[in-house]
Structure 1
Amino acid sequence: MDTTVADTLIGTTIDGRYRITGRVARGGMATVYTATDERLERTVALKIIHPSQATNVHFVDRFTDEAKTIARLTHPNVVAVYDQGRHQGLPYLVMEYVQGRTLRDLLTQRRRLNPVEACAILEQMLAAIAAAHRAGLVHRDVKPENVLVAEAPSGGIANLVDSVVKVADFGLARAVEASAADDSGQLMATVAYVAPELVTDGHADARTDVYSAGIVLFEMLTGRVPFDGAEPVEVAWQHVDNDVPAPSSIVKGLPNTLDDLVARATRRDPGARPTDAGAMLAEVQVVRDDLGAANVETALLRQVPARPRQADATALVPAITTTMAPVQDRPAWARLPQPNARTQRRRAPGPPATFGPVRPGRFGDRRRIVLMATVALMVFTVLGSTWWVTLGRYVEAPQLVNMTKAQAEAYAGSEGLTVTYGDGKYSERVDKDVVLEQRPAATERVIRGGEIILTLSLGPERYPVPDVVGTELAAARGELEAVKLKVKEGDGQFSDTVPEGAVVATDPKAGTSLKPGDTVTITVSKGRSPTRVPNVVGKNINEARGELQEAGLTVVEEYKDSNEPADQVIGQSLKAGTGAETDAEIKLDVSKGPPQVIVPRVVDLPCPQAQQQLQSLNLRANVQGLNPNGVARFQNPPENTPVAPQTEVVIQCF
């Protein structure tokens, strides 16, 4: 059965703009559809969570944050987010629609890629991840399923070297300082690609993504992942206990340079890996150069036109490079980043250019040489001046975002730049005095010795609750709203010290730090209370009850163990002398009386021993008879009689 037809969202128009035309994929948390943006007349991808996830507040928040996260990553190798919203209570994202397949689909079809194709895909993957690392984010789930290979301008995806690669699902990214396990305690990564530090302590940083990218490279070269097992936890711990094998041990003939690259990226010790995706990208570009032109030249030379039949004819052979020439008809969604100068191969040196035959010894030839030299000098002077004015006097602005104020000043100084500061901004996620923004942005041009304007974080925006106790209601409300706090008026309260209409108390109390928009409940005084609470502690419960009821209070009694006499009041909930409302409840603690003692048997004991035993039980012994040191022959009260402490027990000694 065609599940696309059965999907009730097909044909639906969301937010009056996005008409869903088909379903692309369905995952455990969300479904991705193709849709037509009827306002801009373009095809987009629409990702909407399942209704079963709508009640998961943490997941919904994380899904919503995905749009904000990807919006920070403006890069041609990152799937862009255009819009976000809700449809029937379900959050959705509108994203760039990439024509092509995932790297997982390619590996399923072809099993493995050749070294040049693998490195070409890995370079664009790392370019996208490096952009995230520069923004202070970690992807945490680098795997073939999250790598999209777009159709190449030359047609289809057969030519992988010319294809455009885009990395998706940056919604799982987090600030590097806050990297941790998800809410359920499970690793937010796929075990086949998980870094050892995520398994052992749940910590992730930029080097964690480097490790996962190394595993993806291993799979592209060999057609399999390095570790396998019956249970996911078994696979995860193999990353901790074992080194990743060399790809050439599985696929014979792979260059050693690729073995070395995989080994460096997948070191179990994070400190031994490249520091981030940008550092690994530089190493991949060097490896592509080290692989030599053989793999590329063979493919390109097949495209060179056949030599003309004339024996003396000369044909132009295009220079061999490791990068393809720009394709003019590449669509907007497939724009590639500018090629790195390090990846360009140099043309083979040819014979020096000449301007015509030179006949030494003739005056005209010497004059021609001088003229040519003068023209060349003028050209070089103009070109040099133009270069200096347009490019030479500029340098690339360094990345200062997420540095502390001191670090940014030191780093900019080392680059010969000065820093100035604009107005600070509050941030819930970035600590105080850490750089939030910079102008110009990283990698943009700045004049040598010029300045970079930094915006520092002011930390979380918090305001202490002002002390408004004793202040009139209107004035208190104005003072609280002045610090961006909302005011809620609670039930009134009688007060003997605060006049009627003034604030008696606030909740939270004065001095508590709150976010803008938080609510403070204020309690307003109703003036002096009409009833005075009498002191009844030490009185009999009957007397106390009558006195309190006469004062208009409701009495609640609770009997407790006490050494005080039975039925004596030993505590009251409302303080004596304070005011209370009529019919207010007052709780009285009433003594049950001292705990009783069971009189022991002392008959037939020596009188001194009998006397000592009674005293040890908090009883008083009254020794009578003819011989105080004799034997006890009689006792009163008799044995096993319950009596109050300090009860007198008479013993007759003979």
Structure 2
Amino acid sequence: MDTTVADTLIGTTIDGRYRITGRVARGGMATVYRATDERLERTVALKIIHPSQATNVHFVDRFTDEAKTIARLTHPNVVAVYDQGRHQGLPYLVMEFVQGRTLRDLLSQRTRLTPVEALAILEQMLAAIAAAHRAGLVHRDVKPENVLVAEAPSGGSADLVDAVVKVADFGLARAIEASTVDDSGQLMATVAYVAPELVQTGQADARTDVYSAGVVLFEMLTGRVPYDGAEPVEVAWQHVDNDVPPPSRIVPGLPTVLDRLVARATRRDPAARPTDAGGLLTEVQAAREGLGVTHAETAIMRPVPGVPRPADATAIVPAVPAADATALVPQIPAGTYQASHRPSWARLPEQGGRTAPHRRTAPPAAGLAGFFADRRRVVLTSLIAVMAVVVLGSAWWVTSGRYTEAPTLLTMTEAQAIALADKEGFTVLAGDGVYSAEVPEGSVVSQTPGAGEEIVKGDAITVNLSLGPEMHAVPDLEGQELEFAKAALADLKLKVKQGAGVYSDVAPAGVVVSTNPKAGTKLKPGATVTLVVSKGKPPIDIPDVVGKNINEARQLLNEKGLKAVEESVESDRPRDEVVSQTPKAGTGAEKNTEVKLQISLGPPLLTLPDFNNQPCPQAQQTLQGMGLQVQINIDPNATVRGQNPPANTQVEPGSLVQLTCFL
């Protein structure tokens, strides 16, 4: 899809429902847009194929199958598909919008990750791919571009251990039993991550994805892929001919367990690898435990630092902003009960040996009937009494016995609220934070149940902590298209002002070059952000004048409407030759732009010695050693009787000196 079509789609509404607000990414076969589902009022990602692909029946079928494929994978680490349709003859998918960035973007920024971060991301990747393997599907194209790293539930964008990871683009996956090469005969994988068997035979199974995941782990740990080459086919065959090197060879000091993990996943023989992503996941979890790292799942329910975790299973759930499209934190039941929470009459009997029954002696035969009648009365009376106690006890427990008043936690800090609740036998759950200008940040704004309301003893109290006054950080919009930048600021309740455009040799026309205030600055809702947008490359190409005489250089620059600013410098280059220029040749410039030129003063001058009355051959040898040219007049074997230029004259290197020699 070309830029013109992409710009046309922005602002349009697809199928009367999906309003496109900006472009997120453009691939070789499709473009992904950010859109608003106006029916459900949520942000979604809309993926629509390029018109050039619409005539390819096989590709359209494969694109259509993508929705069916992902729909079969219901997993928190798989990008979900919501809808499917056609717009102006082009198939599209409506998918979950993940607020974050790709692992490729992350690696471009960070170069490489710590072992803890790399294993945390890999663990969630493998969980998603293992779900596909259980469904009989092979991804075939596992790479950083297809791994999305969402913002951490804890709100710390830099905390990758807490981040939610999602695997995308299962559209190229095939059923395991039908795995083969693409219809065009080309590999359906990126050569940097391709498994050897896919290169040799084109056959792929679950172990193919295991190999690619191992290469991704290698790249996360080292900041580079194992193999490089001038041609893709050269890189592909290196996977066949060589073993992936241990990461510690590139980054000394990495734990040996990581070398073993990469080696296990990237064996050239598929039979030597884990059988599927689930098998590798087990080994990754063992490696994380070996490094003393908790599993990624613990990020979902994490105790507050510095506060002891309660003895029961209920924990504090980190707050997730309501606008976050990737909030995957599950709801925890309002109360988590243990056997000890039940009243005594509802508990199971204690285990253990029974006491031997007391032996009774038989009553006299004459009183046998009376004995049994009395015993029946006693038993019936006891049963009625027990039933009455149970009924009354149950009624008391259900109506009031199990209830107490909720403590007041308002305005307390999170640590204070947890301490008080724990003291009174309650558990605290953290709800979504709320903005508040009255309550200090991190303190309790509201609680459920409210202070003094009835609550089951030992139940959980949900608190909403203050996020402080509502402030939003200006996002990093450099390099984004103008419409996308406007939509992003509107989502943060910030106003937009378009400043004067500027020329740029790097940013295409219509792309944001900078913002004022800068990215990261926190603003109140309603504040204005000025967008500086690129007007494209400047209209004048600066000519190359290096090596030319200053007079010629001046003329060329004047013809282009540019100004020459000259500076003389010492140089071995000939006098008046342009040594360097700023800006460089080919750079765009506006009219009357100054071009700084460094002009050579020429090489240092040489002072001629006095050769009169010296042997002519000796004088000739001295002059040639000084880098000068020599012309001998009359007799070259005689004595110097005259020289031109005369002695003590300063000349440039390479100048001609004439010697007149005779007896």
TM-score bin (small chain): 0.3 to 0.5
Q: TM-score, normalised by structure 2?
A: 0.47
Asked which structure has the greater RCO (Cα within 8 Å, sep 6+), the reply is 2
Q: Which has the larger radius of gyration?
A: 1
